[in-house]
Amino acid sequence: MNYTVILSIINYDCDYLFPLLKEDYLMHQTKCYAALSQNSPLIHHTISRREIGKKDVFVEIEFCGVCHTDYHYAKNDWGITKYPFVGGHEIIGVVKKLGVDVKKFNLGDRVAVGCFVNSCRACNSCHNNLEQYCANGLVKTYNDPTLDPGGYTFGGYSKSIVVDEHFVFSVPQNLDPAGAAPLLCAGITTFSPLNHWRVGQGMNVGIIGLGGLGHMAVKFASAMGANTTVFTTSEKKTIDGYRLGADNVVLSFDQSALRKKNGNFDFILDTVPIPHEVSKYMPLLKVDGTLCVVGSIGSTGELNTRPLIFGRRRIAGSLVGGMKETQKMLSFCGEKNITSDVEIIKIQTINEAYDRMRKNDVKYRFVIDMRKFSN
């Protein structure tokens, strides 16, 4: 394979990937489900992946979670999708091949791959275990430039994936592998802010939204020992809120119920993935309280500064976690036996699953059983 040609067609700063050129880059083929255009359903397809390099782990994929982001990319909702597109960044599998210099893993280990598969490893963020905020370009698990065959990354709706060991996680043996898959995006997206703001016993924590992310946030906040309140627009989800570990459930359209919670919370995590009024929750925070949003919802209208200044309150945002924090989350889940509530599907039904996900008709995450996807 001629890498000079590959580099010339990637309009991206890939200098930090040059050391990879020293590796022995052979290719192998793997079956997958791909969108061939923004108007096509996902169909059976074949992609090439690199053969393992010295520090690479070959993972045979067992389960892959289905994230809203996969759907947005498949449909080119953000105008940046390259086709064929292979989604999936909540990956659980088994190590089947190891590069000669791999130290962290053994053959047969159960492992996970999350939302990114490379970073510059040299910037301040990378040095501080915050690879998710890499200043020089994170390589996300799908649709991002790479020197790998195809020129951009392909995700976990496939039989196998090859990833540098630094970007692979160990999965505690006691965790159900299907339920563990969504921990890699929905899980870490909510664990990271709860961990960063040191949520624990004696704190009042609010979780806005009870979907794929929100249901994990409730489990985590409750397991961390916080007094946990769920805000939901759905009366039907009240019972689930309590079942998942909440101490209180408040209907977010009930203004008088909200007012009763004014000045009550140390930390509020807003998990709602669609535009909504964020500032109405600000008065619910205590002095010095923080409201953190994790949904990429764009503008939410003008910020009302009054509840911020009358209480020195903060509004913040957060992405997924870095490698160290994600491994910490998986260990925490192993100790507390926390997994996602999932509905397991076959890859052949992924298009129906996308339709149902768009209607919020899932409790609380679809996970594809890739073992049943035969070559």
167 contacts 48 by C-beta, under 8 angstroms: no
Q: Is 370 in the site for Zn ion (CB under 5 A)?
A: no
- CB 240 to Zn ion: min, Å: 21
Is residue 120 involved in binding Zn ion (CB under 5 A)?
Answer: yes
Which two structure tokens, joined as six digits, stand for 35? 């969108």
- Total residues contacting Zn ion by CB under 5 A comes to 9
Q: How far is the CB of 137 from Zn ion (least distance, A)?
A: 8
In the complex, minimum distance from the CB of residue 366 to Zn ion, in angstroms, rounded to a whole number: 12
How far, rounded to the nearest angstrom, does the alpha carbon of residue 318 sit from its chain's CA centroid? 12
| 123 near Zn ion, rule: CB under 5 A | yes
For Zn ion, which is the closer residue by CB, 69 or 232? 69
Of 186 and 285, the one with the shorter C-beta distance to Zn ion is 186
CA distances from 60 to 28, 57, 71, 93, 179 (A): 13, 10, 23, 5, 17
Among 69, 204, 227, 232, binds Zn ion (CB under 5 A): 69
- Contact between 61 and Zn ion per CB under 5 A: no
Minimum separation from the CB atom of position 136 to Zn ion (A): 5
Q: Closest separation between CB of residue 323 and Zn ion, Å?
A: 12
* Residue 301 contacts residue 276 (beta carbons within 8 Å): no
**C-alpha to C-alpha distances, 134 to 15, 128, 159, 297, nearest whole angstrom:** 14, 10, 29, 22
Closer to Zn ion by CB, 17 or 134: give it.
134
Determine the interface stretch with Zn ion among 134-142, 156-164, 169-177, 365-373 (rule: CB under 5 A): 134-142
Asked whether 220 and 330 are in contact (CB, 8 A), the reply is no
Is residue 91 involved in binding Zn ion (CB under 5 A)? Answer: no
Helical packing angle, 186-196 and 323-336, nearest 10°: 100
Interacting span for Zn ion (CB under 5 A) from 125-133, 170-178, 234-242, 263-271:
125-133
Q: Choose between 166 and 196: whose C-beta lies nearer to Zn ion.
A: 166
Q: Where are the alpha helices (DSSP H) in 155-305?
A: 177-180, 186-196, 212-223, 238-243, 255-259
Q: How far is the CB of 157 from Zn ion (least distance, A)?
A: 13
Select from 67, 268, 294, 315 the one that contacts Zn ion (CB under 5 A): 67
Report if residue 190 touches Zn ion, rule: CB under 5 A: no
CB atoms within 10 A of CB 254: 13
Pairwise CA distance, residues 329 & 323, whole Å: 10
Which residues fall within 8 angstroms of residue 292, CB to CB, at 6 or more apart?
193, 197, 267, 268, 269, 270, 315, 316, 317, 318
Sole window of 47-55, 105-113, 185-193, 297-305 interacting with Zn ion (rule: CB under 5 A): 185-193
Rg (alpha carbons) of the chain, rounded to whole number: 21
Q: Does 294 bind Zn ion (CB under 5 A)?
A: no
Pick from 30, 119, 227, 229: which binds Zn ion (CB under 5 A)?
A: 119
The CB-of-126 to Zn ion minimum distance in angstroms stands at 3
290 touches Zn ion by CB under 5 A: no
Residue position matching structure tokens 């898959």: 181
Quote the tokens at residue 294. 């994790």
Interface segment toward Zn ion; rule CB under 5 A; list 14-22, 150-158, 180-188, 204-212: 180-188
134 binds Zn ion (CB under 5 A): yes
**What is the nearest approach in angstroms of Zn ion to the Cβ of residue 44?**
23
From 44, 32, 37, select the one nearest 84 (Cα to Cα): 37
> In the complex with Zn ion, which residue's Cβ is closer, 119 or 227?
119
CA 365, 182, 350 angle in degrees (round to 5)? 50
User: Of 159, 200, 193, 151, which Cα lies nearest the Cα of 58?
Assistant: 159
Of 80-88, 99-107, 116-124, 254-262, the segment contacting Zn ion by CB under 5 A is 116-124
Residue whose CB is less far from Zn ion, 121 or 312: 121
Please report where in the chains the tokens 């949520």 appear, as a residue.
199
Where does this chain bind Zn ion (CB under 5 A)? 67, 69, 119-120, 123, 126, 134, 136, 185
